[in-house]
Chains A and B, each alone.
Chain A
Amino acid sequence: MDIFIYGIFNSISLALMALGFALVYGISRVPNFAHGALYVVTGFLTWGFLRTLHLNYFLSILLAMFITGIVGALIYQLILVRVRGMAISEIIASYAMGLAIIEGFRWWGFKGMTYTLPVFVEGSVTIAGIPIDWQRILVVAVGAAVVGFLWLFTHYTKVGLALRGMAQDERASLMLGIDSDRMAVVAMSFGAMLAGLAAIMLLPLGNIVVEKGYDVLILAIAVCIVGGLGSWMGAVVASFLIGFAQILTVVYLGAHFQMVVALLAIIVTLVLRPSGLFGRQKELEERV
């Protein structure tokens, strides 16, 4: 039973981490390898506002997420827009940016384990005989809300439908008057803010370490590859698959195997079904 509960929690955490990346790739086909860096940025910004400037927690969170969204938009507008369309250059440029940010934080002094964020609600509750902190329940609730909101947004609002249109066929959307660059900026800020949201929800459960930036990037990419690059439904399903697989290995094999699961998931997917579970892309080379 505890496997089930921890499994759900782990899966939703993965989904929160991966959705930002999946969104940006799904909408504008930009692989944002600075995703992990944006996660870390929100974490440190919130910490800074909270502990150093002594602002209200809620306010710190909002400010940090807002600034992260702007950082995401700037990364697109200043850097990625110049290499738009060349997939490998986009990866190198966004990865380099992410590296600069993460290692920049490390150099600035954010080393070690001393940076923490407080949980939103103290205490825990017992479900089916297992104590679960309120924070984790909040994570699941927020995660489910995000998935639900995304679904509604992209199916029923004008901007959301435009984003979906762009995801399906960029040229057709361009001809219909949807500006793909502006949509990409919007997508990047949303993706950045989602990364920030994941940071806000998950960091209180541990500490803020720069290494998390790389971990989040790896996990997000693993989830997106298994789910199919470009499909956010696939990302959600894949998070559950990988999430439960991780918990099972932790229970039966030991706590260190989480990353191994991610690695194996990527390789197995690429060998068996390269387009992932719900991927719509042509994974082989371009057609004639």
Chain B
Amino acid sequence: MSQIRITTPLTKDIIAGLKAGDEVLLSGAIFTARDAAHKRMHELLLRGKRIPLNLKDAIIYYCGPCPAPSRRVIGSCGPTTSSRMDAFTPELLRLGLGGMIGKGDRSLEVVRAIKKYQCVYFLAAGGLGALLSTKVRSARPVLFRELGPEAIYRLEVKDFPLIVGIDSKGNNLYDKTRWKKS
């Protein structure tokens, strides 16, 4: 299967060209965020405040990396389970977030929001954190630094390997698998 090369920002044009099952090599800037950071963002919105990050056409990567060893920009940095972020996802998509990267299936509410706001959900292979760290060019914490591994980092990635899990039409790659249907 051929690989599609894309670069951030993740515009609606790029998103429209992606179909569930496509293999993608992503380059550009992405933000990491996992459980604690999502809860913090949610609490900001609840209090009527804005999230101090430009989420428009941005990508959130569900990841809590290992600290960078000397002479490396980041430690092991694979995806964590996406479904734990399901409850917080639709409001971020409404705010303009273009896509997410993680592992595993999403809730129906998330699939609906992806379709409604024309977004995309990418799968990264779990448990390959060492390999994926070689695709990261720079990393720096940008928000909630006190959360340590759960802080929001801005990563520059080059040819980061992904598979389109849910496309902007709401097609879900997992719905096509034999094990899920049985």
Genuine A/B complex: no
